[in-house]
C-alpha cells in the first residue's frame, strides 16, 4: 500500500538536513536534539545550547510538513509498515532462535489485540470478587443457603428454556 504525503510546504535546507539526520543517520536516528545540533551547527558543549537544541527539535517535530518529510525518508530507507510486517513474519517463521520467535509472536498478538494483559484480567476479577463479597457481607448461613438454592433454581429454569 503506497503512502501519500501532504508535504506542500517547502522545507528550508536546514530543516531538510534535520529530517535526514533524524530519519537516516545511524548515529543520530530518532534523536531530535543531536539531529538539530548537527543540522544547525550547534555546539552542544556550550552552556545552554543543549536545551535550545532540544526545545527547537521538539518544536520542529510538531509540524506536519516536517513529520511528513521524515516519514518519506523512513519509507525511502525501507522502514515502513510493509517492511516491518515482512520482518515480523520472518521472525515468526524462523526456527533457529526460539526466544526471538516467541517474542515476535507476542508482538504480533499484541498488535492484533489478541492478548488480554494480566493486569486487566486481575482487575476484572477483583471487581467481580469485591461486588460478590459486598453482597454476601452480613448474611447468615441460612440466608446464604437460600440465595444459593434460588440461584440454582434460576439457572435450571434458564437452561431448560434454552433446550426447548
Going by C-alpha positions, the residue among 12, 7, 122 that lies closest to residue 70 is: 7
pLDDT mean across residues, the chain: 78
- Give the mean pLDDT of 11-32: 89
pTM of the model: 0.48
Residue with the three cell numbers 530518532: 30
The percent of residues above 70 in pLDDT, for the chain, comes to 69
Which pLDDT band, with edges at 50, 70 and 90, does 80 fall under?
low
Q: Roughly how many angstroms between the first and final C-alpha of the chain, as a whole number?
A: 51
Amino acid at each position: 500500500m503506497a503512502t501519500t504525503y501532504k508535504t506542500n510546504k517547502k522545507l528550508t535546507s536546514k530543516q531538510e538536513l534535520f529530517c535526514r539526520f533524524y530519519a537516516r543517520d545511524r548515529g543520530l536516528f530518532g534523536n531530535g536534539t543531536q539531529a538539530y545540533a548537527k543540522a544547525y551547527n550547534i555546539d552542544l558543549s556550550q552552556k545552554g545550547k543543549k536545551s535550545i537544541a532540544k526545545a527547537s527539535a521538539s518544536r520542529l517535530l510538531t509540524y506536519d510538513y516536517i513529520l511528513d518529510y521524515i516519514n518519506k525518508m523512513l519509507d525511502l530507507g525501507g522502514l515502513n509498515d510493509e517492511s516491518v510486517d515482512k520482518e515480523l513474519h520472518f521472525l515468526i517463521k524462523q526456527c533457529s532462535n526460539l526466544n526471538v520467535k516467541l517474542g515476535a509472536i507476542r508482538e504480533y498478538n499484541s498488535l492484533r489485540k489478541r492478548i488480554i494483559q494480566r493486569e486487566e484480567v486481575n482487575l476484572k476479577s477483583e471487581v467481580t470478587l469485591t461486588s460478590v463479597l459486598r453482597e454476601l457481607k452480613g448474611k447468615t448461613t441460612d440466608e446464604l443457603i437460600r440465595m444459593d438454592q434460588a440461584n440454582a433454581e434460576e439457572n435450571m429454569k434458564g437452561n431448560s428454556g434454552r433446550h426447548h
